[in-house]
Amino acid sequence: MPVDSISLAVFRSLFEAAAEEMGVTLQRAAFSPNIRERLDFSCALFDGDARMIAQAAHIPVHLGSMPASVEAAISAFPDLALGDVIVLNDPYSGGTHLPDVTMVSPVFVDDMVQFYVASRAHHADIGGMSPGSLPLSTELYQEGLIIPPIKLVEAGWRNEAVMRLLTANSRAPQERLGDFEAQLAAQRIGERRLLAIIAAHGLRAANEHAAALLDTSRRMTEAVIASIPNGVYSFADALESDGQREFLIPIRVTITVSRSRLIVDFTGSAPQVAGNLNAVTAIVRSATWYCVRLLAKDDVPVNHGCFEPVLVITPPHSLLNPDFPAAVAVGNTETGQRVVDAVLGALAQALPNRIPAASQGSMNNITVGGTYNGKPFVYYETIAGGHGGGAAGDGLSGRHSHMTNTRNTPIEALEYALPLRVTAYRLREGSGGAGAARGGEGVVREYEFLCPATVTINSERRRLTPYGLAGGGPGHCGVNTLIHGDDVRTLGGKWTGSVEAGDRLRIETPGGGGWGQLP
């Protein structure tokens, strides 16, 4: 089959549909609200050289980190057999943080590995020092079970001992078992759909079109970069606390644009910190590639070709390239968001009418765990906020932004599954920044606990406002409040502690920055 624009569009749709069907399978079969309702997962296809050829429209932070997991799996097991499934979550071997568990399977044609399929899902608890596995940690060992690349399924036979080990280290083992089995089902669907594509069109055509898709994405990304004026652009932003103490943790970036190549250098960013904000390099690459893809006016296929024109430099021993076993629990969620703010801030100097003001800049991570009626429960969610305003108009309100692409958990689903009651859920009026284009509003989400529980909050933009651009005002900072009877206590951006039945936790998320001066 010759490769032309029509056949390329057909194969792109075939590959992306296979990844999407993997995701639908994972969602429908999952047990936890975090996967089933919030869609906190990603699925992707890879060619025989472990280059990503298609990713479903799931989580942006997985864009550059899933390929690293596939490479780690292949490196650990170069002689994979038909029916093998590798499982891993080690952030220092291609992962992001420990709750994100990746599965990798080879796809054999004529006794040779021709493709790989992979899924990554955020499991609500994988062990560690606090429920939800996003503790205020100081080393990776405190964050949960570290899974190096190991075979969960070997030649079609599931290793029940490994599965028992994985589930035994969770506070909700039955929920983990259900979510792991859902991922395995997604792996099988991905393999079947790839084999069906090959059966219908032939292996040679599938490989040729996969390679052509990579080349197309590379050329489209190069065209995007070429539209940026050549030059050097710098920006600095900061995080507020590593969970151990409050202090400013700078992230500095210098972007060099030279024709169709982009060098994004984070030299000058903070050294590695004691707490849980360190982000492995795969996260920084994902956030940077995401920003470049935002600039594309056309729909660039998400694959390995997008990455090739962009060089990301992260200094060793730093916040953005830490040494094992540095804590990394929310480097994925909070530091990744700030990397986006810094990169977009630099790009705004080159493209002042293309880049919006800062969005809320936090995922507002909440984890809750305990025992209710003799049964353990654990829950994790992120909470939406305001988008930055821009030349195209006001920022969106009450929406997840940038490195998270999850849904908000419906109140009905949360209250059905957990001993929680949502007593308030509304837009936070007036939280968006002023400007010709206003920043979007954050949200107010308040929980009442129906039993004693342990709660951990990991949030940012509680002291530093989301910046405005082109004369627009900043968005408002977020606020975390614990209400115990008549005692109303303002919490920091990062907090862990015990609550009693009847206590209420109110999270007010940041608004987006405004863009442009008011007339």
* Residue indicated by tokens 């590995």: 113
Spatial neighbors of 79 by CB under 8 A, at least 6 apart, are none
Structure-block tokens of residue 351: 């493209």
Helix axes 5-29, 173-201, angle to 10 degrees: 160
pLDDT tens digit sequence for 73-98: 999 999 999 999 999 999 998 889 99
pLDDT of residue 408: 86
Structure-block tokens of residue 393: 């108009």
Phi, psi of 406 (to 5 degrees): -90, 170
> What is the C-alpha separation between 310 and 302, in angstroms, rounded?
14
Q: What is the pLDDT along the chain (519 residues), one digit of tens a residue?
A: 688 999 999 999 999 999 999 999 999 999 999 899 988 999 999 999 999 999 886 667 776 678 889 999 999 999 999 999 999 999 998 889 999 999 999 999 999 999 999 999 999 999 999 999 999 999 999 999 999 999 999 999 999 999 999 999 999 999 999 999 999 999 999 999 999 999 999 999 999 999 999 999 999 999 999 999 999 999 999 999 999 999 999 999 999 999 999 999 999 999 999 999 999 999 999 999 999 989 988 888 889 998 899 999 999 999 999 999 999 999 999 999 999 999 999 999 999 999 999 999 999 999 999 999 999 999 999 999 999 999 999 999 999 999 887 888 899 999 999 999 999 999 999 999 999 999 999 999 999 999 999 999 999 999 999 999 999 999 999 999 999 999 999 999 999 999 999 999 999 999 999 999 987
pLDDT of residue 66: 86
Write down the pTM of the prediction.
0.95
pLDDT of residue 58: 63
> Do 510 and 353 contact (CB within 8 A), yes or no?
no
pLDDT of residue 170: 96
> Do 81 and 147 contact (CB within 8 A), yes or no?
no
Chain mean position to CA 491: 25
Could you tell me the sign of the dihedral formed by the alpha carbons of 274, 276, 280, 283, in that order?
A: negative
pLDDT of residue 63: 65
CB atoms within 10 A of CB 294: 17
> What is the C-alpha separation between 183 and 188, in angstroms, rounded?
9
pLDDT of residue 1: 67
> What is the C-alpha separation between 124 and 153, in angstroms, rounded?
22
